[in-house]
Chains A and B, each alone.
Chain A
Amino acid sequence: MNPSLLLEMVAGAAGDRRAVGELTYAELDARATAVAAGLGELGVAHVGYVDEYSETLPVLFYAAQRAGLPFVPLNYRLSDEALRAALARIAPAVVLVGERQRERCRGVEGITLVTAGELPAGDGEPVPADGDVSVLLFTSGTSGEPKAAVLRPGNLTSYVLSTVDFLSAGADEAQLVSVPPYHIAGISSILTSLFAGRRIVVLPSFEPGRWVELVAEEKVTHAMVVPTMLGRILDVLQARGTSLPELRALSYGGGRMPAPVVERALRLLPHVDLVNAYGLTETSSTIAVLGPQDHRDAIASADPAVRARLGSVGRPLPSVEVEIRDADGHALGPGEPGEIFVRGEQVSGEYLSHTATDEHGWFPTRDRGYLDRDGYLFLDGRADDVIVRGGENLSPGEIEDTLLSHPAIDDAMVLGMPDVEWGEVPVAAVVPVAKDADPAELEHELREFVRERLRSAKTPARIYVRDSLPHTETGKALRRVLRAELSANA
């Protein structure tokens, strides 16, 4: 099913509602049709997008779908060299560029650059083309070269149709999007908000003060943030003494969210439904959800098993299956950690270079985790990040969470470094709250702090004090960057 049919349906039933900015669904539908007709005449293989999230994004996305062409949002924060290489990979293509990106993208063979005011347009009805590929997304690459993930029309439409009810949003609802268009959540928001009939409000470049202001100005009812944003938003709320009375639901995902931040959000925003969504680019976004009631039950519970769920990513969606497997591929039982595998119509697992999904439809996420007795999924970090100390697997996340619970610590990252005796030992880098903290004293204190709470094997062998730690802009830890920095200084 062509994703642009979703737009056609919404435009037909609620054409006067605002889709994004001042554009109504009917106008968005008409523009997408006109641009699709123009795209069809150009003989390109892809439609690229190198800019922040804007009103043009849904226009071009749906136009590409209507023309049967893959839509490729590219990361405008890449180096010139990496961006130009990515453009070369998708040639021949027409690419929307923001003003600031134009010079950097110029002169790549087979790439036609257009600005928002120069979108191709045709007069006639486009011959509706149903492409095989809806979107190409370069994955966030926490471990080396980004791969081009392939999402087919069936993956995206089955995700939307399985999780969203048509026009389920009231005309007063508005969704604030502050994730970049090259992140899967940016793409899925264009689909799910639209199908629900929920107006999109755009904050192209996240700044917590502006986010808080925009929620009030636009009467935003729903918002999605990545982990690094939530803490900063909560700081602004406390500083300004506001509590966002219009906001009804706040979903978060895209990286590890420390439990203390979630608890703080529950305290500061008791009227807001919190939702933790776990998903990957390769699974068309969300595959597991910790819903609002799950959050409230967990924080109110005296049962440690229920309370612990605040640190989980909830239960798999009804439309997918999740299995935990050991290194030999055998399915494991509740409480047993292994690699998370997922299967379902929305799961792709395909890349331009190869397919990671097996012949039975199971996709290896490369995330480690386990399911509890009641089917709640807990993440243990990336499989690549596991520290193997004397044959024992240690999860950096557990040690990081312990460090983060110390009041003097703002941020922490743990990874494995080579050790003659153990093969590999955990080593930590921390950012203290007080910039003038004495590194030697802090290291000593933190090592004792961790030792008291976890076993000595999990105590970092060294703790380095830093001004900042490397993360992707969606909050994922860049351990390989930290490792390179620590190795260089050793």
Chain B
Amino acid sequence: MTIKPGARYWSTTSSTTIVVVKVPAQDVKLTCDGVPLADTEQPARGGTPTSEADGGMLLGKRYSDPDSGLEVLCTRAGAGVVAVDGRPVRLAGARALPTSD
């Protein structure tokens, strides 16, 4: 699937919703709980994690897949974790950029 910056994807098995911040270097398959992500809005389902201990993906956190270079932002928390060609995304570290505006 060709992924564009700013594209939004919804899990069909949980509430997890993401937006693409950095595109992968090549086409990849995005899934959640083994099911392909939808590119149209999906209703909220299942639990809403609020801390890292809950698992799943957290609102506002960035996640990346170092192998492909894909970076996403979680826009709605959910129990499901997005996988890139089967590899679960990992929490990205905080940025070191100073405020400029």
Establish whether residues A166 and B100, one from each chain, have CB atoms under 8 Å apart when the complex forms: no
Give, as a whole number of angstroms, the nearest-CB distance from A194 to chain B. 10
With beta carbons under 8 angstroms apart, the residue of B59, B60, B100 that contacts A289 is B100
**Please, which residue of chain A has its CB at the minimum distance from the CB of B61?**
A166
**Please, which residue of chain A has its CB at the minimum distance from the CB of B92?**
A165
Establish whether residues A275 and B98, one from each chain, have CB atoms under 8 Å apart when the complex forms: yes
- Between B7, B60, B75, the greatest number of chain A beta carbons within 10 A of the residue's beta carbon is seen for B60
Which residues of B have CB within 8 Å of A175?
Answer: 99
Which residues of A have CB within 8 Å of B95?
Answer: 163-165
Q: With A13-B59, A291-B98 as given contacts, are A158 and B5 in contact (CB-CB < 8 Å)?
A: yes
The count of residues in chain B whose C-beta lies closer than 8 Å to any C-beta of chain A is: 20
Which residues of B have CB within 8 Å of A66?
Answer: none
Asked if A312 is an interface residue, CB under 8 A from chain B, the answer is no
With beta carbons under 8 angstroms apart, the residue of B21, B59, B60, B99 that contacts A275 is B99
Establish whether residues A251 and B101, one from each chain, have CB atoms under 8 Å apart when the complex forms: yes
Q: With A5-B75, A158-B5, A168-B94 as given contacts, are A222 and B60 in contact (CB-CB < 8 Å)?
A: no
Cα(A273)–Cα(B98), bound, Å: 9
Establish whether residues B59 and A12, one from each chain, have CB atoms under 8 Å apart when the complex forms: yes
Give, as a whole number of angstroms, the nearest-CB distance from B10 to chain A. 13
Establish whether residues B97 and A163, one from each chain, have CB atoms under 8 Å apart when the complex forms: yes
| Besides A163-B100, A168-B94, 5 new A-B residue pairs in contact (Cβ under 8 A), listed by A number | A1-B7, A166-B62, A192-B100, A224-B101, A285-B101
Q: Jot down 11 A-B pairs with beta carbons below 8 A, ordered by A.
A: A1-B19, A154-B5, A161-B19, A165-B62, A166-B73, A167-B60, A224-B101, A253-B100, A275-B100, A277-B101, A279-B100
A-B complex: 4 closest residue pairs judged by Cβ atoms: A166-B60, A277-B100, A1-B6, A188-B101
Chain A residues with a Cβ under 8 A of chain B = 1, 5, 9, 12-13, 153-154, 157-158, 161-168, 175, 185, 188-189, 191-193, 196, 198, 222, 224, 249, 251, 253, 273, 275, 277, 279, 285-286, 289, 291-292, 317, 345
